Amino acid sequence: MSNQTLEIKWEWPAGRQIETKLLADIKKISKASKGLFGIGASPSMANALPDATDVVASVVSGPENLVGKDLSMRIPGVEADKLKVGEHAAIGLVENNTIGICVSAAPTADTHALKDWLNRWNCE
């Protein structure tokens, strides 16, 4: 199986329901580069996110074609603050698994409890 990194774009939910749920192991969290002179953080930039943070994770549960793959996602700092390296998180995707619209830290590390939690989890 290929371990190609999935590049997931972030958008606010805007009333959309998630199409795919992933359970991911958080590998790295880092502040995003703001670019030369901080221009990448300008509110006038279409892709600018408040306190943009890069998250790298490995998919441990979800659609079979995504399990085992790494994903990279730039998310707002308020969303990233929910996550911790070495712990699990749920990620809600839309538009053919290309756009993330919500993340939540998992409440437990127990493997069986995680699967049950993910099945009940809703984008909030």
Instruction: Encode pLDDT of 41-58 as tens digits.
Output: 444 443 567 789 999 999
| Residue 43 bridge partners (DSSP) | none
Per-residue confidence (pLDDT) for residue 4, from 0 to 100: 82
Q: What value, to the nearest 5°, has the Cα angle with vertex 1 and ends 87 and 26?
A: 10
Pick from 53, 70, 83, 101: nearest CA to 2: 70
Which pTM value belongs to this model? 0.85
- 76 assigned to some structural domain: yes
Quote the CA–CA distance of 72 and 74 in Å, as a whole number: 7
Q: Residues of 44-68 as b/e, b for ≥16 C-beta within 10 angstroms?
A: eeeeebeebbebbbebbbbeeebee
Per-residue confidence (pLDDT) for residue 44, from 0 to 100: 43
Where helices occur in the chain by DSSP H, the ranges are: 77-80, 111-120
Domain count, the chain: 1
**Top-confidence residue, 38 or 88:** 88
Q: What is the band of 107 on the pLDDT scale with cuts at 50, 70, 90? A: very high
The enclosing domain of 67 has a CATH number of: 2.40.50
| Residue 73 bridge partners (DSSP) | 8, 55
Per-residue confidence (pLDDT) for residue 47, from 0 to 100: 53
Per-residue confidence (pLDDT) for residue 1, from 0 to 100: 43
Q: Is the pLDDT of residue 10 over 70?
A: yes
Segments forming the whole domain that contains residue 66: 6-120
Q: Is the pLDDT of residue 37 over 90?
A: no
Half-sphere exposure of 80 (CA within 13 A, CB side): 23
- 1 assigned to some structural domain: no
Percent of all residues in the chain with a pLDDT value above 90, rounded to a whole number: 73
